[in-house]
Homo-oligomer: A and B are copies of this chain.
Amino acid sequence: MAGRKHPGDGDTASRILDAAERLVQRRGFNGFSYADVAAELDITKASLHYHFAGKAELGEALIDRYANRFTEALSAIDSRRSDAPAKLAAYANLYTRALRDERMCLCGMLAAEYQTLPQQMQTAVIRFFDDNETWLRHVLEVGSDEGTLSVSGSPSNTARLVISSLEGAMLVARPYGDVARFQAAARQLIASLVARSPAPTA
């Protein structure tokens, strides 16, 4: 528990995951190699194979850790007892943070490369989107009940539209290197879901 030398520290497996995650989010799973990771960590390619048998196993571990962190982040949002619009804004903010570091959402990137991924990774990508949809659907349902949101489609379809729109806004904003472009899209998307008048219970 003592302080680490610097933020990037941790055991070797974690540092490999850190470097690989950044590379995949920036360049894609087919756009990085073991050599890239090894160079960043100043170890050899052979050492990587001690920690992760192959690229498929590394990729799977990448998604698992990413999905777990995302789940934690969603729990943290839930624990803040804010209203539904604020939760949606906090959700969009997760994407903003990645984009600031010039990263695409890991699973958004992998969705593009889906047809070339090993089967284990494909399954994990789907699970990520399903989990996000479930969380968002719940937020939308509560917001509708509260009267803070005005959801026109089904909660499921609306949750899917939110995920899609945010992923797409990231995808398009990145070539422009323009975080503000993403934020404008996210704000407008959320605004379209916020009820125009105060809660009807008032």
Contacts and interface: CB of A to CB of B under 8 A. Distances in A.
Interface of A: 26-28, 30-31, 102, 104, 108-109, 111-116, 122, 125-126, 129, 152-153, 157-158, 160-161, 163-176, 181, 184-185, 188-189, 191-192
Contact of A164 (B104, B115, B172): B172
Nearest to A32: B116
A172 B164 CA distance: 6
Give the top 5 A-B pairs by smallest Cβ distance, nearest first: A168-B168, A112-B112, A164-B168, A164-B169, A165-B165
A111 B184 CA distance: 19
A107 to B, nearest CB: 9
A55 B199 CA distance: 57
A153 B188 contact: yes
B112 A171 contact: yes
Chain A interface main SS type: helix
Given A157-B188, A188-B158, A191-B152, A116 B172 contact: no
A34 B183 CA distance: 39
Given A114-B174, A165-B168, A166-B168, 17 more contacts: A26-B115, A27-B115, A28-B116, A31-B113, A108-B172, A111-B171, A111-B175, A126-B176, A129-B175, A153-B188, A160-B169, A161-B189, A164-B169, A164-B173, A165-B169, A168-B168, A168-B169
Give the interface centre of A108, A171, A184 by most chain B CB atoms within 10 Å.
Answer: A171
Contacts of A184: 153, 157, 160-161
Contact of A114 (B30, B165, B175, B185): B175
B172 A167 contact: yes
14 contacts: A27-B115, A28-B112, A28-B116, A30-B31, A31-B113, A102-B115, A114-B174, A153-B188, A160-B184, A161-B169, A161-B189, A164-B165, A164-B169, A192-B192
Contacts of A158: 188
